[in-house]
Each structure stands twice: as structure tokens, then as C-alpha cells.
Amino acid sequence: MDDLMEKTWKLYADALKLLNQGDYIDAAEKAWGAVEMIRKAFLISLGVPREKAGDISFGLPLFIKILKVLGRRDLINKYYMFDSSLHIKGFYEMLTPKDEIEIVIGEVKKWLDEIQEIMRSLKGMKLKEAIRLMDDALKVKRKILQESIKYESILKLIEEKIKAELEIK
């Protein structure tokens, strides 16, 4: 986990360096990388295996649930704002204005510090049962998706049978 914390702060430092060089697009992505890196480190600090912490379908919902339980909706809202303004609109779509990227990257530092402080306050705590339940929830989700695909196939087959039986081409 210490290696992820080092990477977090290196990514953030790289974001600031790129920002100072006028490379707003790559600065946005580096800052987003720091956000994601600390999210993974946070989960690992609570006993989530590294591969699961990095799996967005496992790690992100668990991360959000933990912050909700801790009463930190403000950090959740910031996370989603960073995803939108830095990652999606900043890097991929290049729509976030330069001055906004600069402001948001400044906000990332405070967010990283707050997540790190929560990690310190929870040091030594593990989420064994919550991790097991998250695995169960993802299994159920996969089953639901599989059944949803079957359902859509049946609906399509019904439509085809109606057309055939009514002799509509």
C-alpha cells in the first residue's frame, strides 16, 4: 500500500509540473490518476485485495459505500466531479477550460489529504465481511445481467413469432 501512496503523490506532483508547463490535458489526467491511486490504497488499507481494489466494478461501489457510512458525501461528490472535469471532460473530451482544470487540480490536493487522514484514522481496521458481501453482490449482479440478456432474447423471439403468425414481413 505504501507504494500506492508514493505513486499517488508522484502523480499529483507530475500534474502540478505539467500544469506549470501549460500541458493542461496531461495535467488533468495525472491528477485523476492520483485520485484513483489513493482510492485503491484506501481500499487496500482496509483489507481489500489489491486486484479487487483496482477492479472498478468492485472497488468503486465499496469505496463509495465506505464514504457514505463515514458521512463523507462531500468526498463522494468531489470524486465524481474529478472524474467528470478531469478524466472525462478534461482528458478524453478536452472540454474542461484550462482555468477550471487549474482550480480543480488545486482541489484534488485537499481531497487527497482528507482521504489520507481518514486512512490514518481507520488504521488497523479490516472489512472482511463487507468484502465477502461485495463479492456476493457482484455475483448476483452478473446473474441479473445474464437473465436480462435472456429476457431480451425472449422478447425478440416473441416479436418474431407474432410477425410469423400474423404473416407480416
In this structure, the answer to whether residues 75 and 110 fall within a common structural domain is: yes
The three-point CA angle 153-156-160 to 5° equals 135
Count the domains in the chain: 2
Q: Do 119 and 40 fall within a single domain?
A: yes
Does residue 74 register a pLDDT over 70? Answer: yes
Is there a single domain that holds both residue 52 and residue 27?
yes
* 29/71 same-domain check: yes
CATH number at residue 11: 1.20.120
pTM > 0.95: yes or no: no
Q: With residue 168 as reference, give the H or E element that holds it.
A: none
Residue 43's closest CA among 125, 153, 166? 125
Q: Which residue in 160, 127, 157, 143 sits closest to 46, CA to CA?
A: 127
Q: Are residues 11 and 62 in the same domain?
A: yes
Residue 67 corresponds to which cell in the numbers above?
464514504
Domain of residue 166, residue span? 127-169
On whether both 106 and 162 belong to a single domain, the answer is no
Cβ-in-10-Å burial (0-12, 13-18, 19+) of 102 comes to middle
* Residue range 100-129, pLDDT digits in tens: 999 999 999 999 999 999 999 999 899 999
